[in-house]
Structure 1
Amino acid sequence: MSLSGIKALTFDTGGTVLDWHTGFRDAFSEAGQRHGIDRDWSQIANRFRRLSMEMMLNLGADGPPGYNFDEAHARCLEKLLREEGLDAFDYVDRHRIAWEAPHRLAAWTDVREGLAALRARYIVASFTLLSYRLVIDTSRENGLSWDAVLSCEGLGVYKLLPEAYLRAAKRLQLAPEECLMVACHPFDLDAAAKVGFRTALIRRPTEWGVHAEGLPDVPPSGTYDVEVDSVLELDERMSQCF
């Protein structure tokens, strides 16, 4: 598929750019060690992620959003700890998991160099469900530079609503077809494609951990305009059509 005419790359951030699983798993594990509790922290981290995503996807469909992703993390953590019988986790534990851990998430090792290379030729933006503050903190933590941060918090509607993608393109003063949505999540790419974005799949096979189960299947090869294993590979592919 042709990649000509693309002027901006809009990156999903919480998974495509950031390794959320390791950060949350380790935060839960550290809290468990404080209280002498041994659980499958990888599975609990994944459940926490699913709960928070459910609160954020399509937020704004029924009116102005009443919370951002940081608040969703805090609310979902309270629910999760009750249901998992982890009431021993105190305020310090909860703050470390819901605030400190996500704001210190590590980027995948290919991201920093890859983004820098792409920015030499394209507008490169974070287009994300995450809060502004979370993107700011993790970008500073990992030395990431963006031309723009398009948080759904500021757009007023959240992915996967079509209007979120249309507003993101409008903020860049571009037509949707001039934007390449970059994500490891097929649902994000599918929603972007429906309003005219071109699409790039970055495979993150360990996004949900090494032995994750019950995850949605990735569509057959050839579904998206470009499919790669890293941001560096994406830069290489994009350089051929610039």
Structure 2
Amino acid sequence: MSIKEIKALTFDTGGTILDWHTGFRCAFEKAGKEHNINRDWASITNELRRKSLKSVLNLGEHSPPTYNFDGGHKKALREIISEYDLSQFTEKNIHDISYNAPHNFIVWDDFPNALPKLKEKFLCVSFTLLSFKLIIDTARKNNLSWDAVFSCEGIGKYKILPEAYETTAKWLQLDPSECGMVACHNFDLNAAKEVGFKTIFVKRPSEWGNEEPPDPDANPHHDLIVDNFKELTEKLEC
């Protein structure tokens, strides 16, 4: 990989940086306890993730988006409530699970020490499906200092549409080849590579809790594959 070409690192944030599974699962458990409901909350959490992700991928392809990922979380949760017989959940429970929980996600513990080191050498931006407000809130909570936040909410085209990646490079005033997409998801990296980004796969074996991630093994065509962010700082000589 021609590391010398990279001037900016664009980070997938939900999953790669933030532990969504623990945050949602704990919120489900709290609501369940309130109503004396016992379910496999870990499994339901992952179903919420699948549904909400499906609701935003490629959003804006045919018409301007009418909701952001916060809306996607709420929409997916209402489907979960219907499918899993959770009608006892109140509107407050719904808000706590779909909004308060993700806006308070905790960062994976290998990232806070790595970010300042990476910033010494590269522009480091959150490039995410998640809403602007969610990234602002989680950055403040976890003491993360991004150089910029590029949410698909503002771009108007959601990953994995090529326009999302092209716009991010344009806003950075860089050629796509000067951008390194960092993610634990092959679908995101593959789309970035299609428009010319360098791609860096960071393994997150616990992203889905005890369930194996949908794509745990990095596509071998990625430019760099690392086990964690400490290794990434070493590979990038930060």
Q: CA deviation at 1:63?
A: 1.2
CA deviations over 1:107-151 (Å, ceiling 9, x no partner): 000111111110011100000000000000001010001001000
CA distance in 1, matches of 2:144, 2:184: 18
1:228 aligns with 226
Is contact 2:218-2:225 (8 Å) kept? no
Residue 215 of structure 1, CA deviation = 2.2
Q: In 2, Cα distance between the equivalents of 1:198 and 1:214?
A: 23
In structure 2, how many angstroms separate the alpha carbons of the residues matched to 1:213 and 1:169?
32
Q: 2:126 and 2:182 mapped to 1: Cα distance?
A: 10
Measured after TM superposition, the shift of residue 231 of structure 1 is: 1.7
Matches within 5 A, 1:87-166: 87-166=87-166
Which residue number corresponds to residue 15 of structure 1?
15
Report the Cα offset of residue 239 of structure 1: 1.2
1:204 corresponds in structure 2 to 204
For 1:70-85, list aligned pairs within 5 A: 70-85=70-85
Q: Does 1:193 align with 2:183?
A: no
Output the aligned Cα RMSD. Answer: 1.2
Gaps of 5+ in 1: none
Structure 1 pair 101/219, CA: closer, same or farther in 2 (3 Å)?
same
Shift of 1:214: 7.4
TM-score (norm 1): 0.96
Q: CA deviation at 1:174?
A: 0.3
Per-residue deviation, 1:217? 4.8
CA distances 1:142-200 after superposition (whole Å, capped 9, x unpaired) = 00010010000111100000110000000000000000000000000000000000000
Q: How many angstroms does 1:75 deviate by?
A: 1.3
Q: Could you tell me how far 1:235 is from its partner in structure 2?
A: 1.2
C-alpha contact (below 8 Å) 1:182/1:199 kept by paired residues? yes
What residue is the counterpart of 2:175 in the other structure? 175
**Is this contact kept in 2: 1:3–1:225, CA < 8 A?**
no
Question: What's the CA shift for 1:11?
Answer: 0.0
Distance 1:171 1:214 in 2: 32
Partner SS for 2:200? strand
Report the 3-state secondary structure (helix = DSSP H, G, I; strand = E; otherwise coil) of the residue aligned with 1:31: helix
Instruction: Give me the TM-score of the superposition, normalised by structure 2.
Output: 0.97
Mapped contact 2:23–2:106 kept (Cα < 8 A): yes
User: Residue 233 of structure 1: CA displacement?
Assistant: 1.5
2:217 aligned residue: 218
What is the match of residue 86 of structure 1?
A: 86
How many percent identity over aligned positions?
Answer: 52
- Do the aligned partners of 2:9 and 2:181 also contact (CA within 8 Å) in 1? yes
Aligned counterparts of 1:123 and 1:111: Cα–Cα separation in 2: 15
Inter-partner Cα distance in structure 1 for 2:141 and 2:11: 18
Shift of 1:6: 0.4
Question: How far apart are 1:232 and its partner, in Å?
Answer: 2.0
2:185–2:215 contact (8 Å) kept in structure 1: no
Q: How much does 1:229 deviate?
A: 1.6
Preserved contact between residue 58 and residue 159 of structure 1 (Cα < 8 Å)? yes
Report SS of the residue matched to 1:125: strand
Moved over 4 A (4+): none
Q: What SS is found at the alignment partner of 1:106? A: coil
User: What is residue 237 of structure 2 aligned with on the other side?
Assistant: 239
Provide the residue aligned with 1:34 in structure 2.
Answer: 34
- Show the counterpart of 2:56: 56
User: Which secondary structure does the structure 2 equivalent of 1:158 belong to?
Assistant: coil
Q: Distance in 2 between matches of 1:90 and 1:77?
A: 12
Task: Describe the SS at the equivalent of 1:111.
Answer: coil
